[in-house]
Amino acid sequence: MYRLATSQPPRRRCARRDLVVAVAVLATWLLAAGAAVALESDRQQPIELAADSVDIDEGRGISVYKGDVDLRQGSIRLRADTVTVHQKGKKPSRIVAEGRPVKFQQQSRRGPVKGEARRVEYEVDSENLVLNGDAVLVQGQDSMRSDRIVYDRVRSVVKAGAAADGKQRVRISIEAPGD
């Protein structure tokens, strides 16, 4: 049997492994923002995460990353004030990013996909991505804006405004096709 050589105590190794799993799930929901045209190579890239602080409570299954949180994996980049990872057992169940605003971007085969909202939530089991508060998705000249945008990855369905339990109208801008 092979063992990973490390000077970290067992509890710290476990916390680090949980962090890597949580960040991988976070990167997966960022792939949802690019829908099916996201770069598949992003999943194979190393994950880099920087924050001013982290508080990992293994007993409660909550990890909180605070202060200029910057996550990168391949072409994916997420910036937030706070990222909270909720776990059930040893697997992430819900990830919440909060900021003024949370910003993310990813390269896709059709060009960069950018988005922002004051709060972004990803439910791992249902694979629903929810953007709350001044939510915006932009690809090229096309954009969608509302107070709430919900993307159901399993069914490939996007809802915004009242259809997503929002309170504001949806504003969509689509670039005219070129010649």
pLDDT digits (tens, 9 = 90+) for 31-57: 444 444 456 677 677 778 899 999 999
**Residue 149 domain-assigned?**
yes
Q: Which domain holds residue 34?
A: 10-173
- Concatenating the DSSP letter of every residue in 67-109 gives EEEEEEETTEEEEEEEEEEEEETTEEEEEEEEEEEEEEEEEET
pLDDT at 144 (0 to 100) = 92
pLDDT at 2 (0 to 100) = 27
**Residue 4 domain-assigned?**
no
What is the number of domains present in the chain? 1
Beta-ladder partners of 30: none
pLDDT at 11 (0 to 100) = 47
pLDDT digits (tens, 9 = 90+) for 91-138: 888 889 999 999 988 887 778 888 899 999 888 788 788 999 999 988
CATH number at residue 57: 2.60.450.10
**Residue 1 domain-assigned?**
no
Query: Which tokens is 45 given?
Result: 């890239």
Inform me whether the pLDDT recorded for 167 exceeds 60. Answer: yes
Which residues does 178 contact at the CB level (< 8 Å), separation at least 6?
none
